[in-house]
A and B are shown apart, each in its own frame.
Chain A
Amino acid sequence: MDTVHASLTTPRTPAGEHPPQDERLPAIELLGVEKLFHSHGSTTTAVGGVDLEIGEGEFFSLLGPSGCGKTTTLRMIGGFDQPTAGRILLYGQDVVGVPPNRRDVNMVFQSYALFPHLSVFENIAYGLRRKGVPSAERSRRVAQMLELVQLEAKSDQRPRELSGGQQQRVALARALVNRPRALLLDEPLAALDLKLRQAMQLELKRIQREVGITFVFVTHDQNEALTLSDRLAVMNAGQVEQAGRPREVYEHPQTRFVAGFIGTSNLLSRRVRAIDGTTAVLEAGPDERLVVPGADLAQARVGDVLDLTVRPEKISILRVPATDPSACVLRGTVTEVVYLGTATQYAVAVTASGDRTGSAGSSDLIVFRQNAADATDVAARGDDVWLSWRPEHSLALRPGPSAASGSDPAASPVQGESDGAQQR
């Protein structure tokens, strides 16, 4: 037993005193990176002070609405744009000012940018030719790539003779054949239809696992980011609102924007009535109870308005008051029941006391209820119900770094666009 333990742990700490995680540099580091564009006398802040750390071998996504600076961030890592301020480190080396051809990263362009005058084989071999890889090895590596992306039969064809998904895979192969230390992908699946996109998502994940290269993946599709990424960063108006594992970001959104952009937004805004340790007690009706733990993070004081969110699947919908005295409880009226197959979605209008959620005075909370074998319809339209959830599922939200720009995903057209992308 001891020997097994030893043999498992010994290779992990070869140096003895330093755990390897500390020695390993992050693959990509962005330190206070800022990019301003000047045009026609006006200045656009495309990226405003981004700090990111992307680990080796990680599948990292940059997620955010259109125009939030994802492409600009990626282009700065690739060397196509130079930051106005800040530093970009690749394996600890500052690369600001280094041209793209001298950076050990490769990019998959949104338009693929396959060279139309070269065959599929020559497209993939392009990078190897530039590096002077001898012809025999070049052929071998290109063939290996063609096999990886399952396009052996298309070797001699021109890019325009391929379908969108095939072109996408050639673009991937053309970048990967160079064995870069990181691969940058700018919405590589955006041009594909839903079915192909889903197939390519799995393909991408498989390839990333097989080659073990760091992927930095730009997308505005939250589902894509959640399913593919090891970690992701949610961007808004040129800033990172939150970075973390998909589960972390989904279950513990820290800002109003993140809560609204990822998943179904259930946003409530209530005045703080009392603070008990780190738990805030919010204004609610006589038989209601609304508490938020961790309100200290949001720096809420008594009398302030606090934003909170509850994920729809965490809420129970009941016909009688909850028995658990510590639970959060709100009363409401069912305004909509939507059968979704595996689940039923209820929209419940909660009594709005000091509530400023929603635009037209409506303050519906969305509730998901799994359609399990024993589940029955608990409520119909117009029924008065009780909503209840564990206090730890009340998540206090910070205004977010970009709150000054007044961007609210629930109100902005950008959110509609990302919803559209999900349904497509």
Chain B
Amino acid sequence: MTAQVSLRPAPTVSAAVARRRRLHVRWHWLLPTWGWLVILWLSLPIIVMIVFGFNATTGKFNFTWQGFTLQWYRQLFAIPDLTNALVNSVTISVIVTVIATTLGTFLGLALGRYVFHGSGSVNLVMFANIAAPEVVLGAALLSLFLTLNVPRGYLTIVIAQVMFSIPYVAITVSARARSLDPAYEEASRDLGAGPYVTFWKVTLPLLFPGVLAGALLTFALSIDDYIITSFNAGSTMTFPLWVFGVSRVGVPPQVNVMGTIIFVFGVLLALLTALAGRRRA
């Protein structure tokens, strides 16, 4: 009798396990399928962009498949305006990434490490900057430049993009700085390093994953920014501005090729980052 009582829970438990296992077997295809569907959904536009870079199109529009060609890769720089716009975009993005990452890193370090007079307001302004509609930011900047009588062009694009990029860097860096044990810096000071050496040898290397994430984000935001840039570009052309401008009269396949190259470059950067992170860990 007692044996029966004490045995009873066992079959119940194994039954539950078995039921769970059966459930698992019946539904195990669901999650991978769902995952692949999402990946397909996300990458479909990219696939179309890449494939139509190889399209042997003859008309103005590049929407129907007409055969494989490497012609557009050979004639990549055949459209001087497009080439010029791409060069502008790339140089602007590099400059913006360097400036915004530097400024954003220091801002993020200050926000993550110290509570100073006005740190609350700085946080608020940063989030407001991210949350504000881009159209509003672009228009506001334009009126600012007009008021200050700053000629619109390359410089104003850089200023505008640095402005909207800093918060992204500051937030990723401050999250990292907040989780950083201050004992590392104290240990460095203790071992004879001054504040400057400590920053370069200890603080920055430990913040680096955050800095890198912020820099990548900035580059990605900067290279394809349309709205804010369009307000402040004056007569300077960037890649997105040029593509948008010609989209009504027909997009040349070179645009697909350049898009592909930017995309491949981005993927390589992300892979390198992941590799560096794995080596670090």
Contacts and interface: CB of A to CB of B under 8 A. Distances in A.
A407 interface: no
A253 B183 CA distance: 36
Interface stretch (B85-93, B125-133, B190-198, B248-256): B190-198
Given A101-B194, A109-B183, A111-B181, A117 B206 contact: yes
A126 B280 contact: no
B81 interface: no
Interface in A98-157: 99-101, 106-107, 109, 111, 113-117, 126-127, 130-131
Given A111-B183, A117-B205, A100 B189 contact: yes
Given A116-B206, A117-B206, A106 B190 contact: yes
A130 B191 contact: yes
B257 to A, nearest CB: 39
Interface residues on A, range: 20 to 34
A178 B189 CA distance: 13
B192 A178 contact: yes
Nearest to A177: B191
Contact residues of A: prevailing secondary structure:
loop
Contact of B189 (A99, A114, A117): A99
A80 interface: yes
B38 interface: no
Contacts of B205: 115, 117
A369 interface: no
Contacts of A114: 187
A83 interface: no
Nearest to A127: B191
Contacts of B280: 117
Nearest to B193: A130
B202 interface: yes
A174 interface: yes
Nearest to A110: B183
A127 B192 contact: yes
A100 B190 contact: yes
Interface in A338-388: none
Nearest to A186: B183
Interface in B151-167: none
Contacts of B201: 126
Interface string A57-91: 00000000000000000000011100000000000
B123 interface: no
Contacts of A107: 186-187, 190
A117 B197 CA distance: 15
Interface in B184-222: 184, 186-194, 197, 201-202, 205-206
Given A113-B181, A116-B206, A178 B191 contact: yes
Nearest to B186: A80
Contact of A126 (B181, B183, B186, B191): B191
Given A113-B183, A115-B184, A130-B197, A78 B192 contact: no
Contacts of A116: 206
A320 to B, nearest CB: 55
Interface string B243-281: 000000000000000000000000000000000000010
Contact of A78 (B188, B190, B197, B206): B190
Contacts of A80: 186, 189-190
Interface string A252-294: 0000000000000000000000000000000000000000000
13 contacts: A101-B189, A101-B190, A101-B191, A101-B192, A107-B187, A114-B187, A115-B184, A115-B188, A115-B205, A117-B206, A127-B191, A127-B192, A175-B191
Interface of A: 78-80, 99-101, 106-107, 109, 111, 113-117, 126-127, 130-131, 174-175, 178
Given A107-B186, A115-B205, A126-B191, 5 more contacts: A80-B190, A100-B186, A101-B189, A109-B187, A174-B187
